[in-house]
Structure 1
């Protein structure tokens, strides 16, 4: 990599930016993507801010972006917005692509990244398959938001008498002492997605302490995440494949019980291809850097949007 690269790992809770020149690099942090305003001006603002803060002179900008759609993946438009910065090339991809490249590099297999949301990407010999990542309203099964929503529903079932008692009720009362008013307060909260997802950590803790409801939620989340992985792998696997790697990323997998249940679910549904769970080689920001050198024949190249030339 001869060009100076400014890479962005853009998520809803924060954006990590890395300026890499040769072997040296510098990282800076920015706030998360604001989904209710246009994306590209936000990225342009981050690029200019990172240049100001680091004093760097990148010629290539790469970005892995949470929830990137074809409508927003206009690399030409972003390049135009960066006029005067010295940037000559822009490369954009969904963060599932950069998560995969960061975690597995050129290895074939699947990466499931589960934080506030969740997306799974599998890469085979000549095809890729994305599963879920459809947002909290239509998908993200097993994500931090999904777990938090399940927790809040269980609390209200406990409150009504429709479900078993759970220690999660006491946790929620710390924020909303009057549980029958909690839903109104939550609906009026601007960052309600983050608030709901924050309860995933309480589910993990209470599951470890033996709360039956938290344990059940954790089991269901693990099953959903494993289903996404096995589905994605089936869509890209060849009969000749011997073994495919699976890598897990994101805060949801900090739950020891969830990770154990996830691994067990994978073992129970091996199908025609052996699945080996491996540790990640790197993070999403490493995958964003790797976009700059992604070869055209690579299966992931079809999922990348670029403009300009370095």
Structure 2
């Protein structure tokens, strides 16, 4: 028997069933290794994680598979090394049985539209490097869904800088928004921030619909209002810069007295979020709706109007807390794949499961 657990050809009857979950987004790459249990759930008590703050690059072919692998493989091997059982050698003739990966699930921002290079290159590369034969490639909205609700029907709204809603009855996916700050992401951090900045500029000009309170916050955060276009328009990270102003809108809405323009922006944002949730909820029966993402840390200035908007648009829905984040969702998808328990709909883009490679 070969003793290296990095060889893709290692075979043994005494292996530890592990799964690897990956979350790739604008803030970098996060990887988790966990044991898979027989019921398709990961054993979070035996999970280990690591992270890189370098986001995976995109290029003409979309998300760069080579750059993702350059980061992922060393991180995965380090986690595998730390997962080895130092006492196992005494029980297996003096050599430690390898820790093998039963399945990998990778959730990536932009997978649905920019994932062609990942879909083409990762199955072979991960089989060659780590012996992986079961792989799921998912949009980050899918791993957010799995983290929030698990593998049951419902709807999830994932909102931070952007905003996307995803729902399923376990036969197909229903998606709303997630089209970026120029075409959509309505109600997102970028949308709220941009609306707040517009209201500030209206106040600067003396036009109707402006907010002196928001103008004061613009000048405190960015400097003189007339310089704002030059600070924004040339930025490659413009959505993040717009979203950075969303907390200022929330503060103005929560002030005593509340700024009516800021409060109105958050009410409109809540309406957009509720519209997206209503568009993706399974049409029959009660629908569970989970909210996940940094936007909802704004608290009551957004959540109070959002509860009202959800009650109006989805009177039969029940809002539930998100059980976990997208990394937890990636681990959950991998664990269910490893145990033949994946119930979420598989399609070509939102959740792609390549044919299992032969042993």
TM-superposition CA deviations, 1:242-299 (whole Å, max 9, x none): x11011011211221211111111111236xx10001112221111012221457734
Moved more, 14-23 or 280-289: 14-23
Match of 1:27 among 49, 54, 59: 49
- Counterpart of 1:50 in structure 2 is 75
> Structure 1 70/245 Cα, relative in aligned 2: closer, same or farther at 3 Å?
same
> Structure 1 168/249 Cα, relative in aligned 2: closer, same or farther at 3 Å?
same
TM-superposition CA deviations, 1:116-149 (whole Å, max 9, x none): 1111011115332011111111111111111111
TM-superposition CA deviations, 1:178-229 (whole Å, max 9, x none): 2112101212233222111111111122211112221111111000000001
- Counterpart of 2:210 in structure 1 is 164
Match of 1:237 among 276, 279, 283: 283
- Counterpart of 1:207 in structure 2 is 253
- Counterpart of 1:12 in structure 2 is 26
Distance 2:301 2:74 in 1: 41
- The runs of at least 4 aligned residues of structure 1 exceeding 6 Å deviation read none
- Counterpart of 1:305 in structure 2 is 352
Larger radius of gyration: 2
- Counterpart of 1:134 in structure 2 is 179
Match of 2:326 among 281, 284, 287: 284
Structure 1: stretches of 5+ with no match in the other structure: none
> Structure 1 51/269 Cα, relative in aligned 2: closer, same or farther at 3 Å?
closer
- Counterpart of 1:195 in structure 2 is 241
Question: Does the 8 Å contact 1:118/1:140 carry over to 2?
Answer: yes
TM-superposition CA deviations, 1:101-126 (whole Å, max 9, x none): 11111221100010111110111153
The TM-score normalised by the length of structure 2 is 0.77
Distance 1:80 1:104 in 2: 31
Match of 2:232 among 186, 190, 210: 186
Question: Does the 8 Å contact 2:31/2:76 carry over to 1?
Answer: no
SS at match of 1:134: coil
> Structure 1 11/297 Cα, relative in aligned 2: closer, same or farther at 3 Å?
closer
Question: Does the 8 Å contact 1:166/1:213 carry over to 2?
Answer: no
Instruction: Say yes or no: does 1:246 pair with 2:289.
Output: yes
Question: Does the 8 Å contact 1:11/1:66 carry over to 2?
Answer: yes
- Counterpart of 1:153 in structure 2 is 198
Structure 2: stretches of 5+ with no match in the other structure: 1-14, 37-42, 82-98
- Counterpart of 1:221 in structure 2 is 269
Q: How many residues align?
A: 303
Distance 2:48 2:342 in 1: 30
> Structure 1 170/70 Cα, relative in aligned 2: closer, same or farther at 3 Å?
closer
The TM-score normalised by the length of structure 1 is 0.88
> Structure 1 197/35 Cα, relative in aligned 2: closer, same or farther at 3 Å?
farther
